[in-house]
Amino acid sequence: MKSTTWSAGLSVTGDGTGVVAHAGSAAVRMLADRTGLTGALSAAVARRGFVPGHDRGRVLVDVATMIAAGGQAIADIDTLRHQQQVLGPVASAPTVWRALDELTPASLKRIETARAATRARVWDLIPDGLPASRVAGATLPAEVVVLDVDATIVIAHSEKEQATRTFKKTFGYHPIGVWCDNTGEFLAASLRPGNAGSNTTTDHLDVLSRAIAQVPASHRKKLLVRADGAGASHGLLDWLTTMNTAREHGRRGRSVEYSVGFAITETVREAIRLVPKDAWATALDADGEVREHADVVEITGLLPATTRTAWPVGMRVIVRREHPHPGAPLTLFEAADGWRYQAFVTNTTTGGVGFLEARHRAHARVEDRIRAAKDTGLNRFPSREYAINHAWLAVVQVAADLLAWLRLIALPEALKTCEPKALRYRFLHVPARLTRGGRRRHLRLPETWPWAKDAVATFTAVMAIPMRT
């Protein structure tokens, strides 16, 4: 049949020269160099009297590049080693192991400082300024930086140090992280044993403190912290409230708002029973339109005075009700009237309850960030040793940063909205031929590749960034 004759006479050999398999990943590596991240990491992990054969900052960027391109194991660094004609010498897998093993808690903190310094420059390079977070078909004020905190389960398929049984009855780790909703950056994370609590206050305070330190100083004046019900602890809400006491904490002019899930306790149920029927307002969907069969109301004033005074001053409690999906389990309280209830708390004083509830539900985008992070190295920790896995998590954050920065300052519209898997298929894994002429090297992408022009535009944008050493 003619449909199968395409393979007639085809032979396959392994003697090709000048061929680069993952040519697009070179743009990720180049971005790290141009923004100064590579040099900053080199300085962060340098050790007096130790001159490695491979610069450790270079090694960390190469591992992050490999992860961004889909690598899941340290041995996958070989996907870059075959590109030495383009990238120059790349460390071997054993060298990568040593580089990760050398990272101490002190050097990991210096890596965070290096990332923060580079981030400040990247945000200055964004063509139209920092993107505004979108809520209910509109945008929040451009100066508001939204931080979404959440934890996730990472299953371990073999015995690993501090991997334990999780609350979901699986086995592995329970890392917690913070993402910037404006930019999609993975700002901070902590690797935790699988049995770590979902609402552990100290973990929330630690990761949020480090995330805020990642936000450039000029953008810290208006922050919005969002979390699900795991964040509804007295410790966290008290801490967020004190962030507004500028004179005591040296943060004059800073505004920190929060939007955090809240448990439906018996006290809350009693307050809901007191809500007049005409007090419920219609809820909004993601596009800002009226959402059918969903209402919202504030119940702060209906709560007992003892409950209100037990929580921070200015905390508002807002409840949403909606008709449940068919087959959804209901509590006895919900089954009585056929509504499903959810609550959250906020210290925001402006805006209608419908908008504030839609703003809170936009926290669900963090699930997309987590999914993308798991597709970029977070879904698999490579070592039996906890310290090396903690170092791996730090490099995963670097990889996520690089992909976010690529979208912010280099990718054209056709590639900007791609999730990691699609971006690899269309750009990072594009093949090319390396040729030489006129004392220059030329990376030639396939003319027939559907995204060839977009790939060239991306390289052009990265190369236009003034080199920062």
Give the model confidence (pLDDT) of 56-76 as tens digits. Answer: 999 999 999 999 999 999 999
Measured between alpha carbons, how far is 205 from 3 in angstroms, rounded to an integer? Answer: 62
Q: For the residues 378-389, what does the mean pLDDT come to?
A: 94
Split at pLDDT 50, 70, 90, the class of 204 is very high
Place of tokens 């967020």: 240
Residue 253 pLDDT: 65
- 372: CB partners within 8 A, 6+ apart: 184, 400, 419, 420
Q: Give the rounded distance of the alpha carbon of 135 from its chain centre.
A: 18
State pTM to two decimals: 0.92
Split at pLDDT 50, 70, 90, the class of 254 is confident
- Determine contact, residues 75/97, Cβ cutoff 8 Å: no
Residue 6 pLDDT: 84
Q: For the residues 46-59, what does the mean pLDDT come to?
A: 88
- 329: CB partners within 8 A, 6+ apart: none
Split at pLDDT 50, 70, 90, the class of 248 is very low
Split at pLDDT 50, 70, 90, the class of 351 is confident
User: What DSSP assignment string belongs to 343-394?
Assistant: EEEE---SS-HHHHHHHHHGGGHHHHHHHHHIIIIIT----SSHHHHHHHHH
Query: Residue 319 is which amino acid?
Result: V
Residue 50 reports pLDDT greater than 70: yes
Closest to 339 measured CA to CA, from 378, 283, 396: 283
Query: Residue 225 is which amino acid?
Result: V
Highest mean pLDDT among 327-341, 385-399, 429-443: 385-399
Extents of the domains making up the chain: 17-114+384-463, 133-371
Rg (CA), the chain: 25
Residue 469 reports pLDDT greater than 70: no
- When comparing pLDDT for 49 and 131, which is higher? 131
Residues 213-223 pLDDT 10s:
999 999 999 99
Residue 247 reports pLDDT greater than 50: no
- Beta carbons within 10 angstroms of residue 65's beta carbon: 29
Query: Residue 442 is which amino acid?
Result: H
Residue 229 pLDDT: 85
Residue 252 pLDDT: 58
Split at pLDDT 50, 70, 90, the class of 288 is confident
Distances, alpha carbon 464 to alpha carbons 39, 117, 403, 440, 457, in Å: 18, 20, 17, 17, 11
Residue 245 pLDDT: 61
**Max Cα–Cα distance, the chain, nearest Å:** 84
Query: Residue 372 is which amino acid?
Result: A
- 29: CB partners within 8 A, 6+ apart: 61, 62, 65, 87
SS3 state of residue 45: helix
Closest to 183 measured CA to CA, from 236, 256, 234, 124: 124
Question: In the predicted model, what is the mean pLDDT of the chain?
Answer: 91
According to DSSP, the residues that pair with 433 across neighbouring strands are 19, 444
Measured between alpha carbons, how far is 321 from 277 in angstroms, rounded to an integer? Answer: 12
Measured between alpha carbons, how far is 446 from 433 in angstroms, rounded to an integer? Answer: 8
| CATH 2.60.40 describes domain 133-371 | no
Q: For the residues 135-152, what does the mean pLDDT come to?
A: 92
- 214: CB partners within 8 A, 6+ apart: 112, 115, 116, 119, 180, 185, 187, 188
Q: For the residues 189-196, what does the mean pLDDT come to?
A: 92
Residue 114 pLDDT: 97
Residue 260 pLDDT: 95
Measured between alpha carbons, how far is 113 from 370 in angstroms, rounded to an integer? Answer: 23
pLDDT-above-70 percentage for the chain: 97
Q: 359-377 burial string, b = 16+ CB within 10 Å, else e?
A: bbbbbebbeebbebbeebb
Q: For the residues 454-462, what does the mean pLDDT come to?
A: 95
